Amino acid sequence: MKDNEGKFRFSAPSEVGELLSGVGYLPSVEISSVLFLADRLKKPILVEGPAGTGKTELAKSTAKALGARLIRLQCHEGIDESKALYEWNYKKQLLRIQSDGSSSPWSEVESNIFSEEFLLERPLLQAIRARDPVVLLIDEVDRVEIETEALLLEVLSDYQVSIPELGTMEAKQIPLVFLTSNNTRELSEALKRRCLFLFLDYPEKEREMEIVTSKVPGVSRTLADSIVSFVGSLRELDLKKRPSISETLDWALTLVNLGLEEVDESVAKSTLNVLLKYRSDIAKASKSILSS
């Protein structure tokens, strides 16, 4: 995207990779390319994939790499315009009405209480009105209702917000926008058309080893190889929740703190609760270990 001086955030996909690597996020070529194109085409990025594959972390790391402010809208069932866009500070409005009493005509009181002083900005409006560089993260967008999804689409299409009492507020700059989805429900075609698409799956073995060795002090490549191989075998099981990348890192740190250099059956069984968070998953994984 061009800023006020007509510059883009990134000069090339390779620069994206360098910036993200510089803040500890190891991107694939696809990730770097999609971020570069989102900047050039002024489009949001819809990031889908299993839970724990680094979707939210990608937005956070991008903000950190750019030195930008991260504005996050955490989606959930029942979220509406007042939580996503804006609402009025009713308590403050009531105090103003009471203080004015009957000394002013209602038309004057009304115009005063529906002014900037009483406006509470929520994440979408904050991002639209920001003058400093921002990254907007709309997290778990698949959890909102269709009506709220339509609101998001409207805002992201024109990067402006209409407030009846104040008029139309246009973006001071177009933020870099990430929408994440665990694909718990199908998003509308209209929203998907508006975005560039990025699917983040669990990383390939070599890339996950790079992540482990770069993030966990003291882990050897031999131990990292054993860790990543074992976690990969767990992800092939029919589990309620497969181990995420962060749980792989937690397990690697656990084994390093225990002073271990290899993963055997005893070690795996005694530390499965670091990787798996459901009793049924731990039982299934234990059975798989014994039979292998």
pLDDT score for 1: 37
Phi-psi region of 189 (alpha: psi -120 to 50; beta: other; left: phi over 0): alpha
What pLDDT tens digit does each residue of the chain (292 aa) get? 344 445 799 999 999 999 999 999 999 999 999 999 999 999 999 999 988 899 999 999 999 999 999 999 999 888 888 889 999 888 888 887 777 666 666 666 666 788 888 889 999 999 999 999 999 999 999 998 888 888 888 888 888 888 888 888 888 889 999 999 988 888 999 999 999 999 999 999 999 999 999 999 999 999 999 999 999 999 999 999 999 999 999 999 999 999 998 898 999 999 999 999 999 999 999 998 767 6
Q: Which CATH superfamily is domain 13-85+122-199 in?
A: P-loop containing nucleotide triphosphate hydrolases (3.40.50.300)
The letter for the amino acid at 215 is K
In a 13 Å sphere around the CA of 61, the CA atoms on its Cβ side amount to: 20
Task: Identify the residue whose tokens are 């680094």.
Answer: 54
**Which whole-number Å values give the CA distances from 159 to 1, 125, 141, in the listed order?**
13, 9, 18
DSSP state of 118: G
pLDDT score for 23: 95
pLDDT score for 230: 95
pTM summary value: 0.85
CA distance linking residue 175 with residue 173, whole number of Å: 6
What proportion of the chain, given as a percentage, has pLDDT over 90?
Answer: 63
pLDDT score for 3: 45
pLDDT score for 2: 42
Q: What angle do CA 181, 8, 200 make, to 5 degrees?
A: 25
Phi, psi (degrees; rounded to nearest 5) at 57: -65, -30
pLDDT score for 166: 85
**Which whole-number Å values give the CA distances from 244 to 59, 165, 231, 249, 274, in the listed order?**
17, 46, 9, 9, 11
Domain ranges of the chain: 13-85+122-199, 87-120, 205-291
pLDDT score for 4: 40
DSSP state of 292: -
DSSP state of 242: P
pLDDT score for 219: 95
DSSP state of 121: E
